[in-house]
Amino acid sequence: EAGVTQFPSHSVIEKGQTVTLRCDPISGHDNLYWYRRVMGKEIKFLLHFVKESKQDESGMPNNRFLAERTGGTYSTLKVQPAELEDSGVYFCASSQVGQGKIYNEQFFGPGTRLTVL
């Protein structure tokens, strides 16, 4: 079974540009999450989708970040315009209650490493 995939693996952009990150969850997983790790800090929750609906976006830093999950399959996270402090690793995770070995187990993708210059 394919795991969570993310694209691109790396992105280097200049301040003020726009970047769109993509996440493909494990097939059949209704729950999709975005997390972010900035340099030297812990991984932090950004938001949670259940199918195509945003369940919780309390972790989104500001309105320069926009997440979508049209059709309830893959998700995109757009940063516009990017700022220096947006640099970090963006992880996507997915889960499905009852289908994981452990209740609440989230399966993580390899992450997108974003560098804003």
Which stretches of the chain bind other proteins, using CB under 8 A? 4, 31, 33, 35, 41-45, 48, 55-56, 91, 93, 95, 101-111
Q: Which is nearer to other proteins, 13 or 89 (CB)?
A: 89
* R_g over Cα of the chain: 14
Q: Closest distance between other proteins and the C-beta of residue 65, in Å?
A: 17
The token duo for 99 is 């289908």
Q: Closest distance between other proteins and the C-beta of residue 14, in Å?
A: 23
Phi-psi region of 40 (alpha: psi -120 to 50; beta: other; left: phi over 0): left
Q: Which is nearer to other proteins, 55 or 73 (CB)?
A: 55
Per-residue b or e along 30-57, where b marks 16 or more CB atoms closer than 10 Å to that residue's CB: bbbbbbbebeeeeeeebbbbeeeeeeee
Q: Closest distance between other proteins and the C-beta of residue 58, in Å?
A: 8
Q: Which is nearer to other proteins, 13 or 43 (CB)?
A: 43
